[in-house]
Amino acid sequence: MSCLDLTITSAALAGKCTWTVHEDNLGSDHWPVVCEIQSAVQRQNFNQSARWGFKQAKWKEFYGEGKGILEGNIEEKYNKVVGEIISAANQSIPLIRGNRKKKKSVPWWSEECTVAIRERNKAFRILKRLITQDTVVEYQKKRAAARRVIKSAKRKPLLLSLRRGQASVSYAQSLLGAPETRLTTLSNGLRIASEETNQATCTVGLWIGCGSRYESEKNNGAGFFLEHMAFKGTKKHPQSALEQAVESMGAHLSAYTSREHTAYYMKTLAKDLPKAVELLAEVVQSSSLSEADIEQQRSVVLRELEEVQGSLQDVCLDLLHATAFQGTPLGHSVLGPSANARTLTRNDLVEYINSHYKAPRMVLATAGGVNHDELVGLAKQHFSGVSFEYEGDAVPVLSPCRFTGSEIRMRDDALPLAHIAIAVEGAGVASPDIVPLMVANSIIGSYDITFGGGKHLSSRLARLAAELNLCHSFQAFHSSYSDTGLLGIYFVTDKHKIEDMMHWAQNAWMNLCTTVTESDVARAKNALKASLVGQLNGTTPVCDDIGRHILNYGRRIPLAEWDARIEAVTPKIVRDVCSKYIYDKCPAVSAVGESVYFYI
């Protein structure tokens, strides 16, 4: 039984339709049904305004009709007519001041969009003059093409603006639109830096130029211990009152310690900035440091030290610092040894604060919905009392940290994989070589076994790792300090692949010194630029960037300057700089895991 053929029409149209069966089945197993509509197509006419037909004009008659007007002094008649018109206009037409509104520009608009819209409008004008099937089809094609071009333009990779409320903008626009960082110094040497972005929230914090590098063997870990004590109450606010004050604002109070920096910061609503600055000032200057709290936190710190031992990457990189900078303060770990955590006293912590928490080494940094002048006033109110003098003028001076090519291996056959780091001495934060080394690291890149792409990955070392199954993961790193650094590669691999991965990692270094190409550098520069902008996503990363830059450089280096420095890097510069730091240099190596015995 065959299915019925149906035609659905309106009641008015059904009376004009006739149905017939086509004589040819056109190669199908069904006879086609033809539906014909007995109706004439009416052409739609557009009413157009009348225009002068100058080509058919009878100029002699026109001259004759206007002969009386043109006789005599034409200039006088012209001035009289124009004067009458202007006089009538002044009496009856009001004058309007102001500029005509301009169309709002959009950052994604391109020349292709302009051409596509122009072609669409041209097709529409032709369609208005003559409606045929060809003109209708042509207009539809141009309209669809314009839509595709605009849709494609909107979807191009764009970087988010650093200003809140702006639409997505191009990379160049994000550089130009980055707000200025304002800097003020108080009489005691404390610096205030801010970036105003008119947001509803802000991050405010105190960055201090001290860390594990400023510690001795005896008090190593004091800075990390103080970080835990910071939230256990102040002389004015006990722990419960401090926690309640922070929670009542809906704020987030945090801290961190590194080898050269310590930071205490709070993210809160912009309207609560005065209260946030007040609390931060108390935490840094008036921490209670009660014996009971110290004993309580001692167990917490010891527990954290045990947990860190489970993070083999942290263990491996701490061992790398210990062997590369052996016998110097940079060899100290940030957390310190467990023996110190058990023996540190209140006097040790107080002495550490009195020695390092000095105004010239502090930066009050903010980002978000803040006003710089208001912030300066708050800083004067709460931080003017911070000392800038040292006992006996004993200003602590960082001793140079020498790099030693060496190795340290910690074998543990219970671990399924080997964690290995190899590094040479890198550049300090203020060195002009820092940017070429960043580009070099970007060329090497990173890899994880979960990545897709395989042999199509952009990094040569990543392609080899995927094709030859060299490792589970690797990443190039450059840890920079005030006067030195570590340039290296960290990887995780099976014990049978250690020597292969070590060979290809060093081969990647040699390629940087000898055969790096224009395309390698171009790709690395693009990746590096995107990383620099992408990591400043939010007020807290921006605030951290401001604080560290003021401590390292004495100013905030703008994104546009970073971009110019990166753009200036050439393959020759990469080869020369990498030869300076890598070629014929003795590396430092650390290894943790099963069968970590291998040749370098």
pLDDT for 94-112, tens place per residue?
665 544 455 555 666 777 8
Q: What local confidence, expressed as pLDDT, does residue 392 receive?
A: 61
CB-hemisphere CA count at 13 Å for 171? 16
Least confident of 65-74, 121-130, 217-226, 351-360: 65-74
For the chain, domains (ranges, CATH) are 111-154 (no CATH), 176-388 (3.30.830.10), 407-593 (3.30.830.10)
Instruction: Indicate the helix (H) or strand (E) that contains 474.
Output: strand 473-480
Burial class (CB in 10 A: 0-12, 13-18, 19+), 506: middle
Looking at the chain, the whole-number percentage of residues with pLDDT higher than 70 is: 84
Looking at the chain, the whole-number percentage of residues with pLDDT higher than 90 is: 52
Checking if the pLDDT of 346 tops 60, the result is yes
How would you list the strands of the sheet with 181-185, edge to edge? 181-185, 191-196, 362-368, 201-208, 262-269, 252-257
Checking if the pLDDT of 364 tops 70, the result is yes
- Top-confidence residue, 54 or 187: 187
3-state secondary structure 130-199: CCCHHHHHHHHHHHHHHHHHHHHHHCCCCECCCCCCCCCECHHHHHHCCCCEEEEECCCCCEEEEEECCC
Residue type, 518: E
CB count in 10 Å sphere of residue 457? 18
pLDDT for 326-336, tens place per residue?
999 999 999 99
Least confident of 51-55, 212-216, 382-386: 51-55
Instruction: Indicate the helix (H) or strand (E) that contains 485.
Output: strand 485-493
Checking if the pLDDT of 139 tops 50, the result is yes
pLDDT for 393-425, tens place per residue?
566 677 789 999 999 999 888 888 999 999 999
Cα–Cα distances (Å) from 277 to 209, 272, 286, in that order, read 19, 9, 13
- Top-confidence residue, 362 or 197: 362
Instruction: Output DSSP code: residue 557.
Output: P
- Beta-sheet strands, E only, within 4-84: 17-21, 33-37
What is the mean pLDDT of the segment spanning 522-528?
93
Checking if the pLDDT of 167 tops 50, the result is no
Q: What local confidence, expressed as pLDDT, does residue 45 receive?
A: 54
168 band by pLDDT with thresholds 50, 70 and 90: low
3-state DSSP helix/strand/coil % of the chain, to nearest 5: 50, 15, 35
- Top-confidence residue, 25 or 571: 571
Pair 509, 155: CB distance under 8 Å:
no
Q: What local confidence, expressed as pLDDT, does residue 388 receive?
A: 83
Residue type, 184: T
- In the annotation, is 243 catalytic? no
Q: What local confidence, expressed as pLDDT, does residue 164 receive?
A: 41
Helix (H, G, I), strand (E, B) or coil at 105: coil
Residue with tokens 């333009």: 153
Among 195, 196, 215, 227, which one carries the catalytic annotation? 227
Residue type, 34: V
Residue with tokens 């206009």: 89
Give the max Cα distance, the chain: 117
Checking if the pLDDT of 89 tops 70, the result is no
Q: For Cα atoms 562, 181, 560, give the angle at the middle one, nearest 5 degrees.
A: 20
Q: What local confidence, expressed as pLDDT, does residue 1 receive?
A: 43
Helix (H, G, I), strand (E, B) or coil at 217: coil
Average pLDDT in the chain: 85
Checking if the pLDDT of 377 tops 90, the result is yes
Checking if the pLDDT of 166 tops 50, the result is no
